[in-house]
Amino acid sequence: MIGDSFVAGLQVENEETICGQVEAGLGEKGFSVRVDNAGVNGWTPNHYLLEARRSLRLRAYDLGIVCLYVGNDVVDREESSFPPRDKAARNTFEIPPSLEWIEFVHAILLPINDILETRSHLFILIKERLRPTLLPMVLAKSYHPPVFNVRETGSRRWALTAGICKRIADEFAERSVPVIFVLIPTIYQVREDLWPDHLALFNIDPSTVKLSQPNVLLGGAFETEGLTLLDPLDVMRREAESGNRHYGSIDPHLNRRGNRSVAEFILPSVEAALSGRFQP
């Protein structure tokens, strides 16, 4: 199974990730399987293609599962190689070169932030709660995915992302192995009550964005390529309306419940794909 940090499972144990729960679910149905989790924080479909090629050279598989996160996996360029990752940059204390606020932030406040982020969970909790206040002060990091912007309707990113995924499917197809693609929604897609706050945080006009746009356009692009894209959004929304929480209150990645919801949603498709290759 390939994906970014949502598959990597940043806030859950390995057996609680989508991968672990799919493996357990198949075991309960009588399948003897092993699921390899190739999820890495910060990866995109370009990385997934390279990882698929590498993994398929190393061992044989019966099924490939590729998870695509709506927030950052719809890419607008194709890349065939990546340099080694640099170590995380840390801000160092210095004398502000001027009395401007931004200079004080970079010279004093950001170094303090870096120290506390690596030493205090309480600091991270407080910082997350104060994010709307800190963001305008350049003291908090946040991100608005451009895939929701209406102006991106005609972007090449939809066809490009689907095209890269078609190449992933082709890599598996050369070995007669099927692939399942799964779309992982953002927290404010599942909890639509959070969407107005997100837009207000970035001062975005609601008429310039559309919450369902990436799912619709990416689904169409995948259909054009002859690929199936499983989308658990509607199921997760219904569960959220019933009081279930799929994302962490501090870490916005999928929590245990979120991983289980996605695993349960895709399990019938996984079982069907595997049943055609061997019987439990």
Classify domain 5-83+145-275 by CATH number.
3.40.50.1110
Give the model's pLDDT for residue 139: 42
Distance CA 181, CA 219 (A): 11
What element of type H or E holds 41? none
- Where do the structural domains in the chain lie, given as residue ranges? 5-83+145-275
The pLDDT score that the predictor gives to residue 5 is: 43
What pLDDT does residue 1 have?
52
Query: Model's pTM, two decimal places?
Result: 0.78
Q: Yes or no: say if 142 and 40 are a contact pair by the CB < 8 Å rule.
A: no
Residues of the chain with pLDDT under 50: 3-6, 86, 134-141
Residues 6+ apart with CB under 8 A from 71: 143, 145, 147, 186
| Interatomic CA distance for residues 178 and 239, integer angstroms | 29
In this prediction, residue 105 carries a pLDDT of: 61
Instruction: Say which residues have a Cβ less than 8 Å from residue 151's Cβ, sequence separation at least 6.
Output: 208
Helices within the chain (DSSP H only)? 5-8, 18-28, 45-58, 101-104, 110-117, 121-129, 131-134, 157-173, 187-190, 195-201, 213-224, 233-241, 256-275
How many other C-beta atoms can be found within 10 angstroms of the C-beta atom of residue 222? 23
The reported pLDDT for the residue numbered 248 is: 78
pLDDT at residue 171, as a whole number: 96
CA distance 70 to 74: 7
Whether 121 and 114 have beta carbons less than 8 Å apart is answered as: no
For tokens 């890599």, the residue is 171
